Amino acid sequence: MKRWIWCMLAMVLALTACGKSEGGQGDPELLLGFSQIGSESAWRVGNTNDILAQAEAYHIGLMFEDAKQKQENQIDAIRRFIAYKVDVIAFSPIVEDGWDNVLLEAKNAGIPVILVDRDISTKEEGLTTCLIGADFYSEGVKAGEYLLRKADSLGLERVNIVEITGTANSTPMRQRQAGFADAVAGDRRIHILESIDGDFIKSRGAECMKILLDKYGDEIDVVYSHNDEMTLGAIPVIEEAGLAPGKDIVVISIDGGQDAIDVLKQGKINCIVECTPRLGKELMETVLRLRNGEAVEKTIHPDEQVFSDEQDLSNLEPRGY
């Protein structure tokens, strides 16, 4: 008996501690537990704001927990959601591995789990209901296809690329790297000199760019960065080396937040592949479909576009993240 009381006390503390959705949901019929990775980028903050706003718009109760970039915090949050008997669990897994045990606990508790943004890798069947998130492989392909067009327009006979990757073993890192590599494979002009893990954060993007410039200097023709945050960290480092980003070094990025779009318009980034953070509406729609016993698609990919120096961006709508 005592253990149960402690567990519930922990839950009450967690509820007051965790970031419940703003606007006070009252006592809604449906309760969604959401574990967010953290706030490492403008994309992530935009994703969080969208989920909070859509939970409010759909009048779905939300237990929101910020894992502060730690997988163990996500696992603990999912266990709290199970103890609290939420109706649905959703989370954006920071990395693909290490989820089987806690997701088996959710399955045994009869709570459906929705993956948002990123995927998991598992040999177990039926641990999750669906994935709502970008087609990261396609984003990598779009980045590679832009580069081939750029190499053609510049008449380059050899293209030396350095790559600043996202968090190791995360779905966007794995698939953006694979998509890009496949898009440029077989083109004899293309040489990927080195890939370094920038962990999707700005300071690491700057550090990686410094390491790569110290090693390769003006041999570098292109930097392919897996997200805007790292790109925005890398650009001043390129300038401090006396090189012009967007001219001496072609800069290709992913996400499409306002800050990066503004730098694209200044000509210091050449291409940004959009990765929309607006997944909240699909998530709430899916929660309602599950509640109504309706079938849901296994994978739901949002439509995404490419912004580059090939287009007139003067009338681009504000990005909102």
Task: Please report, as ranges, the residues that interact with ligand GZL according to CB under 6 A.
Answer: 40-41, 43-44, 117-118, 133-134, 172, 200, 227, 229, 254-255, 275
The CA-CA-CA angle for residues 198, 277, 303, to 5°, reads: 110
Residue 207 CB, nearest distance to ligand GZL (Å)?
16
Minimum distance, C-beta of residue 229 to ligand GZL, in the bound complex (Å) = 6
Buried b (16+ CB within 10 A) or exposed e, 157-185: eebbbbbbbbbeebbbbbbbbebbbebbe
Q: Which is nearer to ligand GZL, 20 or 278 (CB)?
A: 278
Cα dihedral sign for 106, 36, 257, 270? Answer: negative
Q: Which is nearer to ligand GZL, 14 or 95 (CB)?
A: 95
Closer residue to ligand GZL (CB): 80 or 118:
118
Name the minimum Å distance from CB 143 to ligand GZL. Answer: 12
Q: What is the dihedral of CA 187, 190, 194, 198, to 10 degrees?
A: -90
Closest to ligand GZL by CB, 53 vs 83, is 53
Q: How far is the CB of 260 from ligand GZL (least distance, A)?
A: 10
Nearer to ligand GZL, 43 or 99 (CB): 43
From the CB of 134, what's the least distance to ligand GZL, in Å? Answer: 5
Beta carbons of 221 and 159 less than 8 angstroms apart:
yes
204: tokens are 């690491």
